[in-house]
Amino acid sequence: MRKQLNTLYATTDGAWLRKDGANVVMEVERQERARLPIHMLESLVCIGRIAVSPQLLGFCMEQGISICYLTPQGRFLARVEGPVSGNVLLRREQYRRSDDPERCAAIVRNLLAGKIHNQRAVLARGWRDHGDRLDDAPAFQHALKRLERIPHRLLTEPSVDRLRGLEGEAAQAYFGVFDQLIRNGAPGFRFAGRNRRPPRDPFNALLSFLYTLLTHDCRSALETVGLDPAVGFLHRDRPGRPSLALDLAEEFRPLLGDRLALSLINRKQLSERDFRPFDNGAVQLKEDSRKAVLIAYQERKREQLRHPFLGEKVDIGLLPLVQSQLLARHLRGDLDGYPPFLWK
């Protein structure tokens, strides 16, 4: 159990979380293992078989601290939160904008411009690091050029469906050469394309776990600024789906998901032994391996980048909150358009 950037992650299977004064206490087999103050928390994430006492649950709801439950492999199960806060006028404008095809497309266009730019940044960095050792350099260069052209084509597409088509084209170019960036050499880490529900190889299992953590952070950020994480622009509304959180996460997947996964594998911080295969073909991270990934994820969130729109350095972990605030300002009419996060 550790606290990083106002999110507390509980990963020890069979742990019991309870309230003691102004602290959250973790016990395992009736032995106290950790104790942290509650007042600085924004959210609590329980991964695996974690129990929370009614007293702690009620206190978290009173203090606006959300509790998220994930399966051991990182799949979202449930989220518990107190009364919804935020500006009702902001949410009503969000709903109107989502139902307006033209204005919805304007937001989607900028979201995808940020996502595709950041995908290209991952490949460009890989080219700088490994360009002379890639298996198929011409194909890699072709993917870079495609990802450079697609954002310009976004400007001419008027509908969200056509924009989604360009997103798929960008994903095909990006993931089509992604395997060349994996320099580990272990046969189990070969990447033949994105697969999920369930992930069927170690690299996809790692990506899915990181994407789940990122979506949780984006959902918390959106709720913090008063937006409804269930009503998105790029992702269609679906019961139980945090569509706007998934929208927001798209910009950060290359940085906090793909790039981090490459670092963990290429630096051999994870090996094939850190993953467990199942008879149905699914693959998931082992418990100790999840802890290692969580530590790396939180360390990455503490790093700083210069935000291109704000012109100042921001902790990577605060970027979802910053982008949520910029989206809210756009919906209120303070900004003419939503400025995406562009990684350099």
Do 243 and 193 lie in a common domain? Answer: yes
Do 280 and 307 lie in a common domain? Answer: yes
How many other CB atoms are found less than 10 A from the CB of residue 82? Answer: 13
Residue 24: give its domain's CATH number: 3.100.10.20
Encode pLDDT of 236-271 as tens digits.
888 888 999 999 999 999 999 999 999 999 898 988
Do 240 and 321 lie in a common domain? Answer: yes
The predicted structure's pLDDT at residue 73: 59
Do 295 and 247 lie in a common domain? Answer: yes
Residue 283: give its domain's CATH number: 1.20.120.920
Instruction: Calculate helix-pair angle for 160-176, 137-154, nearest 10 degrees.
Output: 170
Do 184 and 295 lie in a common domain? Answer: yes
- Residue 264 lies inside a defined structural domain of this protein: yes
Q: Return d(Cα 40, Cα 325) in angstroms, integer.
A: 20
Residues 6 or more apart whose CB falls under 8 angstroms from that of 247 comprise 108, 111, 232, 233, 234, 235
Do 69 and 157 lie in a common domain? Answer: no
Do 118 and 53 lie in a common domain? Answer: no
Q: What is the mean pLDDT of residues 211-238?
A: 88
Q: How confident is the model at residue 161 (pLDDT cuts 50, 70, 90)?
A: very high
Mean pLDDT of the chain: 87
Looking at 46, 62, 80, the residue that finishes a domain is 80
Helix (H, G, I), strand (E, B) or coil at 1: coil
pLDDT of residue 31 exceeding 70: yes
Tell me the whole-structure pTM to 2 decimals. Answer: 0.79
Q: What is the mean pLDDT of residues 131-137?
A: 78
Do 7 and 114 lie in a common domain? Answer: no
For residue 41, the enclosing domain spans 2-80
- Residue 344 lies inside a defined structural domain of this protein: no
Say how many domains are in the chain.
Answer: 2
pLDDT of residue 4 exceeding 60: no
Cα-Cα-Cα-Cα dihedral sign, residues 111, 117, 122, 125: negative
The predicted structure's pLDDT at residue 3: 37
Q: Are 247 and 320 in contact (CB under 8 A)?
A: no
Encode pLDDT of 69-87 as tens digits.
877 756 667 778 777 666 7
Least confident of 77-86, 167-176, 195-204: 77-86
The residue among 131 and 231 whose pLDDT is bigger is 231
Are β-strands 66-70 and 23-28 bridged in parallel, bridged antiparallel, or unpaired?
unpaired
Looking at 60, 80, 100, the residue that finishes a domain is 80
Do 155 and 176 lie in a common domain? Answer: yes
Please identify which residue in the block is written with the tokens 């806060």: 85
- Residue 341 lies inside a defined structural domain of this protein: no
- Residue 339 lies inside a defined structural domain of this protein: no
pLDDT of residue 293 exceeding 70: yes
Do 8 and 153 lie in a common domain? Answer: no
